[in-house]
Every structure is written in structure tokens, then in C-alpha cells.
Amino acid sequence: MQNIELLINQITKLHMCMEQLDEIKKELEDFLKITDMNNISFAKNVMFSEEIKTNNLVEGYIDDLQLIDEVVKSNPKNKNAPNNKEQRILNLYNGYKYILNNRKIDKDTLKKLYSILSKNLLTKQELMDMGEYYRNEPVYIYYSSNLSKEPDEGIDSKLIDEYMDSLFNYINKGNSFKTQTDFYIKSQIIHFYFVYIHPYFDVNGRTSRTLSMWYLLNNNIFPYIIFNRGINYNKNMYYKSIRETQKYGDITIFLKYMLETVKIELEKEYLITIIESLTEKLSIEEKQTLNYLLQMKDTIKYTHYTHFIEDIMIQNL
């Protein structure tokens, strides 16, 4: 069991069993060797607008890709009063632009990112109860639509500064990683720990996932920024693995879930890219339909991709 220098409940250090991740890590590294996703063009292409859609979708906000394109292509400065849906889209769009153009991750730059992501979305009371950087009051986290279930609670507000400083130290410390997947694992430890702290009253989830993307971009790990997509196909497991990690301090189950889901999304993205290169350019609707078809259980798996692609090539001869 490997300890991580991040505390859970003031007693236990976050820890993981790396051996349990070795198999999925190898599968991912072998797959990435045959792809051409590790470049900034790929990252920008998927961030705007697909990752805006999926980052919001994790929290139950359903936005059509066509609407997202329309909102981000309009001039936000000329919009008098965007509605909540438009505001969430614009906030993520501007947040992604911010992390693409700013490498430094610390207390002040995170504050700036949060101000972008939460713009016009917080209540007056939430704004009043915010300190200079973080919340000054308790926050309650509902993981079920059944409101009779007792919610979880973010850590004591008096501990947030200490725990966030530990997180910044973890983000910025050097490492000797040899693979892209090692960086991805670290990005998801960052993702979890931010959610565990829950330093704000709202928009913690979107901020945690955007912070993880920021870390990946800073380290030129471009394929893995699509991790939001996989969460949406099994959100129950996402929240369950977060809560299990909070309870026991073992983050292995969360990391395995995030590795397995991103592997599926990378394989789908690779196949869709190949199909598009062999046919006419796919419309937004065609891409979404193909994405959902590939997600269906026991339809097309990566091991069958070669035959599937060969059929397409024959049809285009």
C-alpha cells in the first residue's frame, strides 16, 4: 500500500494499491502508442465544446452541443443577462481559456479560476459566507435525489487552508513519472481530494474536474482531458467510489474507476476519428449518435475495431 501525502480526517493518509492498477495502466499505455491524440490541437478540439457539455453533465445539467456552440461563438460581452444555462456554459468556456493560458496553480490563480466558473451562479448568502479564499461555514453534499438521506459534509472550514495548502504542495512537487498514465492518476488524486475538501459552497465538482484538466495541460498530457465523458455513463459508481474513499482513505477503487472509464472514451474517440477520416465529415448529431452506439454494452469493443474499420475502408474503395 502506497501512502500519499494528503490527510483524510486528520488521522489517515490517503493511500492506494498501485498493483491493482497495473493491468489497466498497461492497457492504456499500449493503446496510446498507436494513437495521435497527444497534442494541443486535440485538446482544444475536444475542450470546446464537448468537454463543456460533459463537465456540466456530471452534475445533471443537460446542454445540447449545438446550443453550446451558439453560446460560445456569440460575443459574451454583448449579452445583457445570460440565463443560468448560458451562464454555466460561458463560465466553463472562459475557465478553459484561463487554464490554457495560465500555467501557475496556487491559491490566487485557483481563486481566479473559481471566480470565473462560479460567476453569477452563487446566492447572496453564499457570497456573504465566503472568506477571502474559501467558505467560512459548513457545506452539505447531497449524493442522492432522496432528500431524506442524510447528506455528507465538507471538511471543517477551519481546516480548509491547511488542507488546500497540502494539495497545492502535492500538485507542484516534482515527480519522476515515466508514463502519461502516471500523470493521469495524479490528476485524479487531485480531483478526488478537492471534492473531499469541498472548499466552496457550490461549483466544487466543476472546479475539481477543471483543476485536474489544468494539471494535465500543464504537463502536456492531452489525451486524458476527456475523462469527464466516462463519468456520465456510470455516475452512481463515481459518487460511490468518492464516498468509499472518504470513509476508508483508500483511493484505489476511485482511480480504477477513472482509468477504466477514460479507456473506453479514448477508444471511442479514436474510432470516431478514424471513421471521420475515411468518410465525409460527421455532423454533431452523427457524432453523438455514434458515441452512444459505441457505449452500448457488447456492441463494438476495441478488440473488434480493426474489422469494423476494414469494412468502412472496403465500402469507400
Per-residue pLDDT reduced to its tens digit, 174-213:
888 989 999 999 999 999 999 999 999 999 999 999 999 9
Residue 81's pLDDT band (cuts 50, 70, 90): low
Tell me the backbone φ, ψ of residue 15, rounded to 5 degrees.
-145, 165
Which of 49, 61, 82 shows the shortest CA–CA distance to 206? 61
| Least confident span in 91-100, 138-147, 303-312 | 303-312
d(CA 46, CA 42): 6
Is the backbone of residue 252 left (phi > 0), alpha (psi -120 to 50) or beta? Answer: alpha
- Least confident among 102-106, 203-207, 284-288: 284-288
- pLDDT band at residue 102 under the 50/70/90 scheme: very high
Identify the pLDDT of residue 142.
79
Q: Can you tell me the mean pLDDT for 129-147?
A: 87
Tell me which DSSP letter residue 152 carries. E
What's the rounded Cα separation, in Å, for the pair 158 and 166? Answer: 14
State phi, psi for 59 to the nearest 5 degrees: -95, 15
Q: Domain span at residue 133? A: 2-315
Q: Distance of alpha carbon 313 from its chain centroid, rounded? A: 34
Number of domains in the chain: 1
Lowest-confidence region among 40-54, 196-210, 301-315: 301-315
Please work out, in degrees rounded to the nearest 5, the angle formed at the alpha carbon of residue 301 by the alpha carbons of 296 and 303: 175
How far CA 15 is from CA of 2, 57, 283, 307, in Å, comes to 5, 29, 44, 41
Mean pLDDT across the stretch 132-161? 87
* Secondary structure E strands in the chain: 2-8, 12-16, 140-141, 152-153
Confidence band, pLDDT 50/70/90 cuts, at residue 116: very high
- 297, 61 Cβ separation under 8 angstroms: no
Tell me the mean pLDDT in the region 271-285.
Answer: 81
Q: For residue 113, what is its C-alpha cell?
A: 479560476
- Look at residue 211 in the predicted model and tell me its pLDDT: 98
240, with CB counted inside 10 A (0-12, 13-18, 19+), is: middle
Residue 79 confidence (pLDDT): 54
Q: Is the pLDDT of residue 253 over 80?
A: yes
Q: What is the mean pLDDT of residues 137-163?
A: 86
Amino acid at 193: Y
d(CA 182, CA 247): 24
- Lowest-pLDDT range of 79-93, 111-125, 287-301: 287-301
CATH code for the domain of 160: 1.10.3290.10
Amino acid found at 190: I
